[in-house]
Amino acid sequence: MKKWFAFLIIFILTGLTMWLTNPGQDKHEKAVAKAITEALSEEKVRLTEAGSLPPMLKELNEDMLDMMISPLVNQSVTREDYVVYSLTRLKLGAEDHRVGIGLFGKVFIAPQLKTTIKDNIQQYLK
């Protein structure tokens, strides 16, 4: 009986902690914006080292990337709330993708988002 009661207390406390620390919409947006900015910056460095960076992109810095990404993220990122955790969804055109999960106050973005962004940039510049 004591083991069952201890398990119940731990289960309730964990659920309560997850509910109280479930990240809001702003954290989901910031996490997606950070992932996109990192992917674009990494691709810019790769293209610069390869000598194939288009001239118009050479002056592009972090602040400019943030200014370009912010409106996109504000319009296309949504949060699905499941009380103790939440999912990050990214809507691009007609497609809607789950790209992350939020729990315990943090948002974890799937690494496939960065890979997809980099692949699209490489495909576009070919």
Nearest to 45 by CA among 32, 31, 58: 58
Query: Which of 67, 44, 10 lies closest to 117, judged by CA?
Result: 44
Give all strands of the β-sheet with 86-92 in edge-to-edge order: 77-81, 86-92, 95-103, 106-109
* DSSP E strand stretches across 1-126: 77-81, 86-92, 95-103, 106-109
> How does pLDDT run across 62-105, given as a tens digit for each residue?
788 788 888 888 888 999 999 999 999 988 778 888 999 999 99
**Average pLDDT estimate for 28-45:** 87
Q: What is the pLDDT of residue 126?
A: 62
Whether the CA torsion 123, 61, 38, 105 is positive or negative: it is: negative
Distance of alpha carbon 94 from alpha carbon 76, whole angstroms: 11
Mean pLDDT of the residues in the chain = 86
Please give the model's pTM, rounded to 2 decimal places: 0.82
Q: What is the model's pLDDT at position 125?
A: 64
Task: Retrieve residue 28's tokens.
Answer: 């989901």
